Amino acid sequence: MAQYRFELQTKRRTSKAFKQAAREGLFNLEWYEAHYGSFSHPLRAFEDYLFKSKFANVNPSALFDTETYLRANTDIYHAGINPLVHFMNHGRYEGRVSSPALSRWNPVDELVPEESATWRKQKVAICLHIFYADFVDKFAECLKQFPINIDVFVAVSSDEIAIKVNKQFCQLSTVSKLKVVITPNRGRNFGPMLVEFGKELLEYDLMCHLHSKKSLYSGKEQTQWFDYLNQYLLKDKHTVKSILRLFASNPNFGMYYPTSFWMMPSWVNHWTCNKAFANDFVEGWGIDISQDFVNYPVGGMFWARPDALAPLLSQSFTYEDFPEEPLPNDGSWLHALERSVGLLSEKQGYKQFFYYPPAGRFTSDKSQIFAQYHKHPEALFNELNTVEIVSLDIFDTVLRRAFTEPDYAKLKLGKLLTEKGVFESPETFLAARNDAELSLRKLKSFKGDVSITEVYDALANELNWTATDKCMYLALEFELDLDMIKPKDEMINIVNRLSDAGRDIWFITDIYYTHEQVERMLRKIGLNIPFKLLVSSDLGMRKDAGTMWRYVKDAIEALGKSHIHVGDSVRSDAQICGDFGLSNMHILHPKDKWQAAGYPVVLTNPLDESQILKWGPLISNCGRYPFFGE
């Protein structure tokens, strides 16, 4: 009886909210169906929105943007409250940030699933890794309504879960074959799939790989990321049928997954610190990891044609091949593998395709990984103007090098020293110069930092330079670099305006140049405002080591002011900065913006002066403003 009363009250609240939203135009049936499909009744469409909007960036009409509301009001997101209902009942009266529906990204193509006689005949395997017992019910609900018969492979973490899986899954009419294996806590979701099922999966036309996933926010379990992926991989019948139809009618499609979860940071599709762990895949599969941003199934859940992953699935693995727990949040062989499966699919001659929930469209457009890097300069200024301290990286954030390559000044100095007979070639000098810096870092066990003065002292000792020559060569390297730097004009304008608006401006950089040299560079590019300058070689602390951020955090907390940091390095300016609880905004490095714009891969050899002179200025100009929207 209590359950009945609860359900009745819920229906009444939903009906009341629907009538109010429809009356105010905040829910528009025609608009919603145009984006997300037809429904038997307007109330069913509204219920669909209420359900999906807690984890997906779907919109109820052109008048309300779900993503804006939840990003600006993360307490509502973490609490799992419907954004539109909260806005109508509370948010607008509390002055909460909201906006009309925004078009953040428009796919260049749309894949339309076509009915055929073959899509139901595909041999499909569902591969699940279940670490948490409560996910058995979630997966059983999805499998129960799967549109065709399937074989299911399940790796579980305990006898208890195995018993529960066997009991529930064996009762499902859609499950033709069930294989359940108890596995050790090794290899996360990939290990059990590859060790237990890899070669068997090669016998199928298609496979879908999912795993139980939970995240912690403010001490509370959150499943929105999983709910998002599960909805558009296994749960939503319309989406699943569309996936099967698209695979059936496009034999060149090798992998599918929804676009990256919208509440992840903008740089989630970056390699971050994982390229160093990808050597096995580069050497074994011949994939290209030269680009820093990459399309991959963030979260490790996807549909694939097993043939597209054959070099991986056909390998023989043991659990000892995978790193032991606990694993870091980022930076491991498994994190590199997750980023490599899409590249492997393409290396095998297949294409990837995706589903973009806001538009309700399937697409093969890979540019979605840059969707969050569209921002007009005025919007950027307004966003930064809400805090009291704005700190910024320097190189490739407020200043740019005319030829992009940071070592070009050293190469030019090498040419001069070669002409004087000091070195055999510019490349020989560059190698000696950088080796001297690296040796000093090793002597310091990569703690603190190294200054350009220390580098040239070491070179002078090794090469028997006079004190005069040493000082001259050091000054030349800096002057050659100084001569080639240019302002990132839009960024300089924004920084000057922020200072005029009363914001404290800090510059924080990891660089071997001295405090005085860096200040000269900032003055050259047009910064004539008061600012605080933190230089790693001067303070003996670095952003990429975290020591600088610990120092910055203590300084900001002592001041009791709000703060945000802006920079182009995913690792130093965003990921590690965020690890210290500091707000940050990642911007595109010029080379990343060049990639995002769809231009060809160039500047592949940092020692090739002809490449530097040809492509360097074009990339530098392309990246002058670090977002799209200038």
Which residues of the chain are in CATH 3.40.50.1000 domains?
377-404+483-622
The percent of residues in the chain predicted with pLDDT above 90, rounded, is 95
CB 256 within 8 A of CB 121: no
Terminus-to-terminus CA distance in the chain, angstroms? 60
Q: Which residues on neighbouring strands pair with residue 511, listed in sequence order?
A: none
The count of other CB atoms within 10 Å of the CB of residue 587 is: 27
Q: Give the separation between CA 566 and CA 391, rounded to whole angstroms.
A: 6
Q: Which amino acid is at 88?
A: M
pLDDT at 354: 98
Give the right CATH number for 120-367 from 2.60.120, 3.90.550, 2.60.40, 3.30.310. 3.90.550
Kindly state the tokens that stand for 380.
């950027």
Q: Give the separation between CA 304 and CA 307, rounded to whole angstroms.
A: 8
pLDDT at 217: 42
**Chain center to CA of 532:** 30
Q: Which amino acid is at 536?
A: S
Residue-wise pLDDT for 326-376, tens only, equals 999 999 999 999 999 999 999 999 999 999 999 999 999 999 999 999 999
Q: How confident is the model at residue 9 (pLDDT cuts 50, 70, 90)?
A: confident
The count of other CB atoms within 10 Å of the CB of residue 327 is: 15
Q: How confident is the model at residue 5 (pLDDT cuts 50, 70, 90)?
A: low
Q: Give the separation between CA 42 and CA 22, rounded to whole angstroms.
A: 10
State the DSSP code for 423. Answer: S
pLDDT at 466: 97
The count of other CB atoms within 10 Å of the CB of residue 313 is: 20
Is the Cα dihedral 517, 523, 525, 527 positive or negative? positive
Bridge-based pairing of strands 485-487 and 399-401 is antiparallel
User: Distances in Å between the alpha carbon of 84 and those of 53, 172, 578?
Assistant: 9, 36, 29
CB 125 within 8 A of CB 207: yes
CB 169 within 8 A of CB 175: yes
The continuous run of DSSP H or E covering 400 comes out as strand 399-401
**Chain center to CA of 451:** 33
Sequence-ordered list of residues with C-beta below 8 angstroms from that of 590, at least 6 positions apart, any chain: 396, 400, 404, 619, 620, 622, 623, 624, 626
Q: Give the separation between CA 523 and CA 97, rounded to whole angstroms.
A: 37
The count of other CB atoms within 10 Å of the CB of residue 96 is: 16
Average pLDDT over residues 56-73: 96
Q: How confident is the model at residue 35 (pLDDT cuts 50, 70, 90)?
A: very high
pLDDT at 8: 64
Residue-wise pLDDT for 239-280, tens only, equals 999 999 999 999 999 999 999 999 999 999 999 999 999 999
The count of other CB atoms within 10 Å of the CB of residue 609 is: 17
Residue-wise pLDDT for 485-522, tens only, equals 999 999 999 999 999 999 999 999 999 999 999 999 99
Sequence-ordered list of residues with C-beta below 8 angstroms from that of 528, at least 6 positions apart, any chain: none
Query: CA angle 122-311-225, nearest 5°?
Result: 65
**Total count of residues recorded for the chain:** 630
The count of other CB atoms within 10 Å of the CB of residue 628 is: 15
The percent of residues in the chain predicted with pLDDT above 70, rounded, is 98
State the DSSP code for 600. Answer: P
Residue-wise pLDDT for 417-458, tens only, equals 999 999 999 999 999 999 999 999 999 999 899 999 999 999
Q: Give the separation between CA 437 and CA 506, rounded to whole angstroms.
A: 27
Packed helices 452-463 and 426-443: angle between N→C axes, nearest 10 degrees = 110
Kindly state the tokens that stand for 278.
């990808």
Q: How confident is the model at residue 630 (pLDDT cuts 50, 70, 90)?
A: confident
Query: CA angle 314-317-318, nearest 5°?
Result: 160
Q: Give the separation between CA 449 and CA 125, rounded to whole angstroms.
A: 52
Q: Give the separation between CA 15 and CA 38, rounded to whole angstroms.
A: 19
Q: How confident is the model at residue 213 (pLDDT cuts 50, 70, 90)?
A: confident
Query: CA angle 144-149-155, nearest 5°?
Result: 70
Q: Give the separation between CA 258 and CA 363, rounded to whole angstroms.
A: 10
**Fold classification of 377-404+483-622 (topology level):** Rossmann fold (3.40.50)
When comparing pLDDT for 348 and 223, which is higher? 348
pLDDT at 7: 65
Kindly state the tokens that stand for 597.
């714009």
Kindly report the average pLDDT of the chain as a whole number.
96
pLDDT at 438: 97
Q: Give the separation between CA 173 and CA 143, rounded to whole angstroms.
A: 9
Sequence-ordered list of residues with C-beta below 8 angstroms from that of 502, at least 6 positions apart, any chain: none
pLDDT at 218: 39
Return phi, psi of residue 513, to 5°. Answer: -65, 155
Which range among 6-15, 316-325, 493-502 shows the weakest confidence by mean pLDDT?
Answer: 6-15
Maximum CA extent, the chain: 95
Q: Give the separation between CA 402 and CA 484, rounded to whole angstroms.
A: 5
Does pLDDT of 2 surpass 80?
A: no
Which residues of the chain are in CATH 3.90.550 domains?
120-367
